Amino acid sequence: MGSKLPQPTQDRGEALRDLAEHGYCVIANALAPAQLAELRERLLEQAAGEDAAGRGFHDGGGVNQRLWMLVNKGKAFRDLVLHPLVSEFMTELLGPDYLLSSLTANIARPGSVPMGLHTDQGYVGFWTPKPVVANIAWMLDEFTEENGGTRLVPGSHLEPYRPYDPSETIGACGPAGGALIFDGRCVHGTGENRSGDSQRHALLSYFCRPFVRQQENFFLGLDPALRTGERPEFLERVGYRVWAGLGRIEAPHPGLVALQDEPLGPLRADGAPLDERAPAAALS
């Protein structure tokens, strides 16, 4: 591994080389100022609302706040799934038919404890020569060593997982509006917020290859209004399109899969519905 670690860049060639060598890259100015402001405002409002409603989820010693299933919680979040940067880098890492596995947020507050080091595809149980999943951490604030910026082990994606000591990690730093993109095999974890007075807000868009079970169950959890009202390209990215025969209902077809109001059930030989609850005809 080379000595120069990835730095925020807008050079796509440099970013791809960083990904290949170190397992991560940092894209500067990934979010336009207006989009950054919109995402941050929506996240802050949602976080406060979930706490006020008694639905807030806290970890990191009870200090950090996490928000789940953000696709239901604002169009700004759904727009992020279709960001050009996603298509460019997830296609590179996972192939063109990648799926959104989850879209969540992590608010790292002062006094939080660091997250245990792990890989995002640890459930696979063995090292793979290519990533099965990949992640983008969207920096809604500056990521620093002090405010709990994600810590990674550079180059760890190139070897089978082993336990790592925190001293082997580096903090992924970058300005607000940046994007930390990392290979699902790269060992990482949320850092400790030692800033004393600043919060660090991040959105985590986690993607997988199309044959992998998604982290969030969009088929049961997606707001029903979005199943008919959202953009086809968004629905495709959350799994509402058949891929290689997977995810189908009845015979596979090229269009989006929709909920079946009247699923095909048991039939009699003449094509009439068979009522399995009816008592069997008496034997003569």
Which residues have C-beta within 8 Å of that of residue 28, sequence separation ≥ 6?
8, 9, 10, 174, 175, 177, 178
Yes or no: is domain 12-216 CATH 2.60.120.620? yes
Instruction: Tell me which DSSP letter residue 174 carries.
Output: B
What is the percentage of the chain residues whose pLDDT exceeds 90?
Answer: 84
User: Which pLDDT score, from 0 to 100, does residue 2 have?
Assistant: 47
Amino acid identity, position 131: P
pLDDT tens per residue, range 14-24 = 999 999 999 99
Whether the CB-CB separation of 196 and 167 falls below 8 Å is answered with no
pLDDT-derived band of residue 281, with 50, 70 and 90 as boundaries? low
Measured CA to CA, the distance from residue 181 to residue 163 in angstroms comes to 22
Cite the DSSP H helix spans in 82-222. Answer: 84-94, 218-221
pLDDT tens, 104-115? 999 999 998 889
Task: Say what the pLDDT of residue 284 is.
Answer: 45
The residue type of 93 is L
Q: Which residue has the higher pLDDT, 258 or 31?
A: 31
How far apart are the C-alpha atoms of 28 and 189, rounded to whole Å? Answer: 21
Give the C-alpha separation, 146 to 5, whole Å: 19
Flag whether pLDDT at 45 surpasses 70. yes
Banded model confidence at residue 1, pLDDT cuts 50, 70, 90? very low
Which tokens is 104 given?
A: 């969540």
**What are the tens digits of pLDDT across the range 132-180?**
999 999 999 999 999 989 999 999 999 999 999 999 999 999 999 999 9
Residues 161, 234 contacting (CB under 8 angstroms)? no
Which residues are 189's β-sheet partners? 151
User: What pLDDT does 113 receive?
Assistant: 87
Question: Rounded mean pLDDT of the chain?
Answer: 94
| Helices 12-22, 84-94: inter-axial angle, 10-degree rounding | 40
SS3 at position 107: strand
